[in-house]
Amino acid sequence: MPRKLMAANWKMFKTWEEACQTARELVVAVRKDLPDDREVLLCPPFTALRGVSEMLSRQEGFYLGGQNFYPAEQGAFTGEINPDQLLDAGCTYALVGHSERRHVIGEKNGFLASKVAFGLKKGLKVILCIGETLEERKQGEVQSVLHRQLEQGLQHISSATSPEDLAVAYEPVWAIGTGETAGPPEIEHAHNLVRDKLKSILNQAEQIRILYGGSVKPDNTASIISLDNVDGVLVGGSSLSAEKFSQIVLA
């Protein structure tokens, strides 16, 4: 079975120095006790990628990721970053389609599909984020939303894509940064829907890691990652503290 991926998304928090300090503290806290079935991924702001990369260098089981990228080799795309630049900074992974990119920045499924395909082509491991809003859940649209986001988001990749190169993060939009967390039945149901849909798209769908994201905390991580089809977590606020995130990683 693939190892659990314990991912931290620091969003638009931390200066270079703060990010390096948090990464340093995290490595010290967990490197000796990191279980063989766990991997740790840090996604700091772009300005801190190089510094955090140095903190993680030669640390087995620790990886660096970008929070976003633009699907082009280079060009007049002010404020954007491309996969080669992420790789050059030490990244192995990149997020695509985080709910804040979808609902704040306005990125659509078609554009996200081009990101997934381009990122994989360039050699990044891609984590596609999906999830429903509270209104969509109340209207009974969870399955249709998740299936649509998967179908459209993965439309340009090969069915033979390696499961080592792709992961999916289920993030109910209403549970991100709100303190609300989907209960075990809701998480398990959503992850089962995702797994079933992946089976219709990819040859090795059983090996694709499906992460849960949405107000993950030290006291609820163990119950979440013990659920069927939950292969790790994507953590926002609680990952900003090395102490809290180390507890999550080791849960």
Residue spans of the domains in the chain: they are 4-249
Read off the amino acid at residue 7. Answer: A
Q: What is residue 1's predicted lDDT score, i.e. its pLDDT? A: 74
DSSP state of 215: S
Catalytic residues: 98, 171
The answer to whether 175 and 215 have CB atoms below 8 angstroms apart is yes
The answer to whether 138 and 118 have CB atoms below 8 angstroms apart is no
Q: What is residue 131's predicted lDDT score, i.e. its pLDDT? A: 97
Burial-class residue 76 by CB neighbours within 10 Å (0-12, 13-18, 19+): exposed
CA distance 211 to 7: 9
Q: Give me the residue label for tokens 């060009």.
A: 75
CA distance 205 to 199: 5
Q: What is residue 185's predicted lDDT score, i.e. its pLDDT? A: 94
Give the CATH architecture of domain 4-249: Alpha-Beta Barrel (3.20)
∠ CA 181-182-187 to the nearest 5 degrees?
Answer: 135
Residue 42 is encoded by which pair of tokens?
């840090």
Mind giving me the DSSP string for 136-172?
A: HHHTT-HHHHHHHHHHHHTTTS-TT--TTTEEEEE--
| Local confidence band at 177 (pLDDT 50, 70, 90 cut-offs) | confident
The helix/strand/coil state of 187 is helix
pTM: 0.97
CA distance 65 to 48: 11
Query: Across residues 199-224, what is the average pLDDT?
Result: 96
Residue 226 is encoded by which pair of tokens?
């013990």
Q: Give me the residue label for tokens 């984590």.
A: 127
**Residues 6 or more apart whose Cβ sits within 8 Å of residue 118:** 71, 72, 83
Task: Select the more confidently predicted residue: 72 or 214.
Answer: 72
Q: What is the pLDDT of residues 38-97, one digit of tens each?
A: 999 999 999 999 999 999 999 999 999 999 999 999 999 999 999 999 999 999 999 999
Q: What is residue 178's predicted lDDT score, i.e. its pLDDT? A: 76
Q: Which of 227, 200, 193, 234 is nearest to 6 (CA)?
A: 234
